[in-house]
Amino acid sequence: MKGLKILIADDHKLVRTGIRFTIESSNAKGTLAKFDEASNGYEALQLATVNEYDIILMDINMPEMDGIAATHEILKNTPNKNIIAISMHDEEYQVRKMIEAGARGYLLKNTGPEILNAAIQTVIRGGQYFSNEVAVKLMHIAGKRESSEPLTRSSQKIPLSKREQEILTMIANELTNEEIAEKLSLSKRTVDTHRQNMINKLQVKNTAGLIKYAIQNNLI
């Protein structure tokens, strides 16, 4: 996190302080990240208009202006901003609206420090990052869109083994690695390895990328 400038937008000071502490504590030698804070979407918009930020961490339900509207307005004026939603809600409506507004990540507030840090690093490098729970919501949203359009199987041969396709289908159906291991009589480490191999093979960033691939190739 060294040298980053981060805006934290949340209407609860305790939450803002907790997020800041989490990021600062991620580096054992101390981080040189600089922080600004906003207590509502309007303040976030004002700050983002006059400052450059590497990352904006945006709550959704805030007074004055909510995080969805703030994200839309910020990216309308400066489309190169990196915004990650951090919310206690994972309703499909909010996930869809936040992604449509331009957020490049979506995490729940019960997310662990390692996930928050991974999300920030991934988005800074140009990727997208969604927590597992949100990835499942995206799968449902994508599934609804797919069902409203003619289904066409990808002409490209699926570069996954039969076992990998089996595990991917279970991942897309919300099974944990432990549950998958039990169903297939494998060790959890073996399932972990298969998951990482699929991420590497398909050149995706995370579980959301795997689920998107499963939908596109009619594996679910």
Comparison of pLDDT for 73 and 159, the residue scoring more: 73
Please give the C-alpha separations between residue 144 and each of 150, 151, 179, in angstroms, as whole numbers: 12, 12, 26
Of 110, 105, 150, nearest to 125 by C-alpha is 105
What is the pLDDT at residue 37?
A: 98
Mean pLDDT of 144-158: 47
- Where in the chain are the domains? 5-130, 140-216
* Most confident region among 17-21, 124-128, 140-144, 198-202 by mean pLDDT: 17-21
Domain at 5-130, CATH homologous superfamily: Response regulator (3.40.50.2300)
Query: Residue 16 above 80 pLDDT?
Result: yes
Quote the tokens at residue 181: 């291991």
Say which residue the tokens 């398909």 belong to.
202
pLDDT for residue 203: 82
Regarding pTM above 0.75, the answer is: no
Question: What is residue 80's predicted lDDT score, i.e. its pLDDT?
Answer: 82
Which pLDDT belongs to residue 28?
Answer: 45
23 pLDDT more than 70: yes
- Name the nearest CA neighbour of 215 among 159, 158, 142: 142
Q: Please, which pLDDT band fits residue 151 given cuts at 50, 70 and 90?
A: very low
What residue type is assigned to position 69 of the chain?
A: A
- Predicted confidence band at 165 (pLDDT cuts at 50, 70, 90)? confident
CATH: 1.10.10.10, 1.10.260.40, 3.30.1360.150, 3.30.565.10. Which one for 140-216? Answer: 1.10.10.10
The H or E element containing residue 21 is helix 13-24
